[in-house]
A and B are shown apart, each in its own frame.
Chain A
Amino acid sequence: MNALTQTPFAYDYANADCGGLRTRIGASDVLLRCSGALWLAAERTLVVADLHLEKGSSYAARGQMLPPYDTRETLRRLAEEIAALAPATVILLGDTFHDRRSEDRLAADDAEALRGLARGRTLIWVVGNHDADGPRALPGEIADELALAGLTLRHEPQAGLQPGEVAGHLHPAARVKATRGSVRRRCFITDADRLILPAFGAYAGGLNVRDEAFAGMFARPPLAGALGVGRVHAVGWRSLVGD
């Protein structure tokens, strides 16, 4: 059977009132938020990946004085999501800190803001490659991976097809092409079996989903949820190009 006669896979998706995208991963209903967070309504769980807190000061330590506001900007956006959704559980899906010394460099008010977000709910730190030990002084539980709502939540996607996996690590970004030109946005990327979340951190860069790092991960041409202004745009594989 060649590609031309193959019926395209019909993704099940719709835009929600908030501008986010409702879709299914395996048998679970999920909402892909405009912020780049994942909302599991039935479990009242908010998932964010790759905050890379203190990336700015990590560069400053090497002599490149990026504005020291990335942590508070990232936490501000996370606080907005928490205020909007009132989650019972917040899962930080790894690489929450940019490096192993990030926690020591946190400004006092940023650390306090982070503690505030944990208050009255469960905060879970799934550890990643940048922060393999988890936090030392900050509140929350530490986990390598989690099973929730029929999904497996971990930082780094495992090789090959992984039905039910929700991961971060790759910082997916989509270059979307149309007749008038192209734009590059952070994005969710999913084949309805697994989902990779965009990086949530203010200074986290993006890796084009056409990059080889994504090869072999999807059972079919995946669907991108590109983060626009107040809307997650569902974009098909053929509208995506490399950088």
Chain B
Amino acid sequence: MADSAGLPADLLPPRFADWFAQRGWSPRAHQLAMIERAQAGRDALLIAPTGGGKTLAGFLPSLIDLATRPPPNGPSSLHTLYISPLKALAVDVERNLGAPIAQMGLPITAESRTGDTGLSRRQRQRVKPPEILLTTPEQLALLCAWEGARLYFENLECVILDEIHTLHASKRGDLLALDLARVAQFAPRMRRVGLSATVDDPEVIKAWMACHRPVDLVGSHDAAGVPKTTAELAEFRRETEETAASPRISAISAVEKSSGNASVDLVRGPAGAEPIVEVLLSEGKVPWAGHTAQHAMQEVYDVITKSKTALVFVNTRFQAEFAFQELWRLNEDALPIALHHGSLAAEQRRKVEAAMARGELRAVVCTSTLDLGIDWGDVDLVIQLASPKGASRMVQRIGRANHRMDEPSRALFVPANRFEMLECQAAREAIAENKLDGDPPRIGALDVLAQHVMGCACSEPFDLLKLYDEVTSAGPYRDLPWEDFEQVVDFVSTGGYALKNYDKFRRIVKGPDGLWRVRNLETAQRHRLNVGAIVSPAVLAVRIAMRGGRGGRKIGEIEEGMVEMLEPGETFVFAGQVWRLVAVTNLDVLVSPAPGADPKMPSWGGSKFALSTYLAQRVRQLMTDQPHWQVLPADVREWLEAQRDRSIIPGEDEMLLETFARGHRQFMVCYPFEGRLAHTTLAMLLTRRLERMGRGPLGFVCNDYALAVWAIKPLDQVDFAELFDEDMLGDDLEAWLADSFMMKRAFKGCAIIAGLIERRFPGQQQKTGRQVTFSTDLIYDTLRRHQPDHLLLRCARDDAATGLVDVARLGQLLSRIKGRIRHSPLEHLSPFSVPILLEIGKERSPGHSGETMILREAEEDLIAEALQ
């Protein structure tokens, strides 16, 4: 077969070649290439389309090695470690891997280990490991924090990182990279293998997964005073700073990190068939605003009736519940249509997945819970309801249809409003051109490092300099300054406070041998209970109310914030049914069925995904390019033409800003297309400035495309260049951020990951349930006043600036529009401004002013009650 041209035929041992032949298969070129890379002892990143035998390609080298090596002398030991971002995927791969092992009769054990694995099996796996262990990053972190980790991993030959693109750009990825560096110390022969279907920039991922070792370019290790390791280098730098103008200073540049990337080879699978992506035009019906796509449900239903099995992706749980209700309202044929999202009880999700695997379902309405993993051969159509937000995510989702590589996947985008029509078209074209948006490289978070350092101390005593070299061999931490490392270790030991009165309470202590070790067994045990870099919001169990106010069967879980919007007696949709809220107890939301009731629809947050920078740029291009408008339905075209005639269609690199009066209010609407997060931050900062300019701003509203600010006084005479000047990212940003609830939220996450706050204790009693023993907000306020430069405040600030307020993107925006603001003063509102104005009043404003408003309203209620 042409596939395997150029590679030696004897890469496959006979037993394996026969197995392929018996199935009428021939090994694909990338599968052979992976074997060859393994035999050359190289790390490899495999990028291959879904359905291309990617997982098998990852495992083949290990299976061959295990099948052909001489039987080991001692007891079995771990040979290959497989890491999946999802528990379910690890279990699924265990099953899939079982087939070739059984069919070839290989003497290999492969077992999964997740948080759901039974205790006895997990204990046995520690004593007697399988040759192939399939697990998650959290379990790996736990294994690394056990005593005896060194022995456990010493014979490890290979680590396989599946769906690597979802792992790397997050705190989970930081932790995983650190654990890889750790395991690599224990297992000198270990190779690293990454697997992915969608990667926009392989270099970013290679740099993340590679081992970055210090290299000595001088070559003479014994040259007097030349540091050999990064840690020595750091020490050396400090010394030379103290004794300035040292002649040794010229030697510093001789020691540099290897680029790392060079040690990872890129293997590409064949390009799969081009996906067929269509956008549902809904001629004459595309709404001005909204996110539910209610107008298109009949069309969506009709498409489902013509498909074998369709996955209907939405962006939020609320949208999932809504679409599920709507589809069942139309479902005259009683087609088996199911629902799958992260709030449903795990058992219920497993049922849906099992029915799906048996081919019994015609459609599943789902959120990102089904973005990854499990193979379902029968899915022949992916429907994206509402905004796709990014091209890469769409490619991933589209890949869920049709796991046969040579047949095209089919997808249908259903825009929920007019701007989304532009976005869907832009995404369709980006996918056709194979242009993906990716995550930028990450700098490893210090709260995660703190957790890791503690884990290291729990497994065995460590030497500070050696640990620094190990940590900086991990991609995200390769540029970690020695000073930051020292600060992290100080934090782990005593909390890192300027006031040194915790010295007698150290969590890790330096012994007379110069090694750091955990203070006692109990401290180690508590750390192990709190391993992991996922911090999820507090959730309550939704249960059916029984007599005597008790909770019965669990239906699913709901985030705390969502419950606050509901009063007892009110009805809402959950898990595809209408329920009446009976009561909220400590940990349970008690409900009773309310079939047929007209449910109140609490707005359960907007999309958690921001519009990608790349897609935003393509939307702006499409908007500017008038001949291109012909791909759009007539009503959307007419809307763009009306905008052109009544206001302005801005140039591709310009930002349109409109001002007009409406009612008693003065409006300013601008259209940066940079996503809700960046817009919200911008609006917060703009209102601060307008306040200072005496314009009397009253409020604002944002969506992914635009933001509107309204005020008492006219806004058309404002100096917009000054208003939008980049200097708002200085003091204004810091002042606002320090007080914002987002900093408090970010701080809580960092405090939990870094181990300042423990989520679980040994023998924990669920006394008051969710209530932590103290509020992290109180700690935040106190720490900010008394030690504003504390490590965790730095972490929280970095997190808030990236994740919660998107400062980087706001900075790009401000520099992009500098000198390019197109002001359009109007008599009336413009066609573009209608969607954003329709969102006014739907949002709840968080933060101080919002909270004060709530308290004031409650005061007024008391006065009203008194006057009754």
Contacts and interface: CB of A to CB of B under 8 A. Distances in A.
Given A63-B507, A63-B526, A229-B848, A203 B782 contact: yes
Interface stretch (B254-262, B684-692, B855-863): B855-863
A61 interface: yes
B106 to A, nearest CB: 47
Nearest to A73: B782
Given A63-B519, A64-B756, A66-B495, A239 B502 contact: no
Of listed B782, B790, B857, residue having the most chain A CB within 10 A:
B782
A67 B782 contact: yes
Interface string A199-210: 000111110000
B505 A60 contact: yes
A61 B862 contact: no
A69 B783 contact: yes
Of listed B787, B790, B851, residue having the most chain A CB within 10 A:
B851
A168 B778 CA distance: 19
A116 interface: no
B494 A177 contact: no
Contacts, number: 141
B858 A177 contact: yes
A65 B865 contact: no
A61 B779 contact: no
A177 B785 CA distance: 30
B758 A64 contact: yes
A235 B862 contact: yes
A65 B855 contact: no
Nearest to B855: A233
B549 to A, nearest CB: 13
A180 B852 CA distance: 11
Given A176-B855, A203-B774, A203-B782, A57 B501 contact: yes
A203 B779 contact: yes
Interface stretch (A39-47, A118-126, A181-189): A181-189
B497 interface: yes
B855 A226 contact: yes
A78 to B, nearest CB: 14
A228 interface: yes
Contacts of B850: 180-181
A105 B501 CA distance: 8
Given A177-B858, A202-B778, A235-B862, A67 B497 contact: yes
Contacts of A64: 756-758
A236 B523 contact: no
Interface string A62-88: 011111111011000000000000000
A8 interface: yes
B771 interface: yes
A242 B497 contact: no
B853 interface: yes
Contact of A178 (B494, B586, B781, B858): B858
A141 interface: no
Contact of A181 (B522, B786, B854, B856): B854
A72 B756 contact: no
A203 B491 CA distance: 20
A1 interface: no
Contacts of A158: none
B334 interface: no
Contacts of B522: 63
Contacts of A57: 501-502, 505
A242 B549 CA distance: 15
B771 to A, nearest CB: 7
Contacts of A148: none
B502 A8 contact: no
A32 to B, nearest CB: 14
B757 to A, nearest CB: 8
A176 B844 CA distance: 15
Interface string A217-238: 0000001001011010111101
B564 A181 contact: yes
Interface string A162-176: 000000000000001
A29 interface: no
A13 B282 CA distance: 60
Interface in A4-43: 7-8, 10-11
Given A8-B866, A228-B852, A66 B858 contact: no
Contacts of B782: 67, 69-70, 73, 202-203
B525 to A, nearest CB: 10
Contact of A205 (B774, B786, B790): B774
Interface residues of A, number: 47
Contacts of A223: 862
Interface string B470-510: 00000000000000000000010011110101100101000
A133 interface: no
Interface in B536-582: 564-565
A236 B854 contact: no
Contacts of A234: 859, 862
Contacts of B848: 229
A65 B855 CA distance: 34
A236 B564 contact: no
Contacts of B856: 233
A180 B495 CA distance: 38
Interface string B435-469: 00000000000000000000000000000000000
A149 interface: no
B854 A8 contact: no
Contacts of A185: 855
Contacts of A180: 844-845, 850, 853-854, 857
B236 to A, nearest CB: 31
B774 A178 contact: no
B854 A67 contact: no
Interface string B755-783: 01110000000000011011100110111
Contact of B787 (A61, A69, A242): A69
B785 to A, nearest CB: 6
A113 interface: no
B523 A8 contact: no
Contacts of B844: 180-181
A114 to B, nearest CB: 16
Contacts of A67: 495, 497, 779, 782-783, 786-787, 790
A2 interface: no
A112 interface: no
Given A203-B778, A238-B861, A63 B851 contact: no
A77 B866 CA distance: 34
Nearest to A74: B782
B771 A61 contact: no
A236 B865 CA distance: 8
Contacts of B857: 178-180
Contact of A68 (B495, B584, B781, B845): B495
B868 interface: yes
A57 B862 CA distance: 41
Nearest to B496: A65
Contact of B859 (A65, A105, A235): A235
A233 B854 CA distance: 10
Contacts of A229: 848, 852
A73 B526 CA distance: 29
Given A66-B756, A183-B851, A202-B778, A61 B858 contact: no
A234 B756 CA distance: 35
Of listed B501, B770, B778, B858, residue having the most chain A CB within 10 A:
B858
A65 B494 contact: yes
27 contacts: A8-B865, A57-B505, A60-B495, A60-B502, A63-B505, A64-B757, A65-B494, A65-B496, A65-B505, A65-B507, A65-B756, A67-B779, A67-B787, A67-B790, A68-B495, A68-B497, A70-B782, A177-B854, A177-B858, A181-B564, A205-B771, A205-B778, A226-B858, A228-B851, A233-B856, A235-B858, A239-B861
The 6 A-B residue pairs whose C-beta atoms are closest, nearest first, are A65-B495, A69-B786, A236-B862, A178-B857, A239-B858, A233-B855
Given A178-B853, A183-B855, A233-B859, 4 more contacts: A73-B782, A176-B855, A181-B565, A243-B586
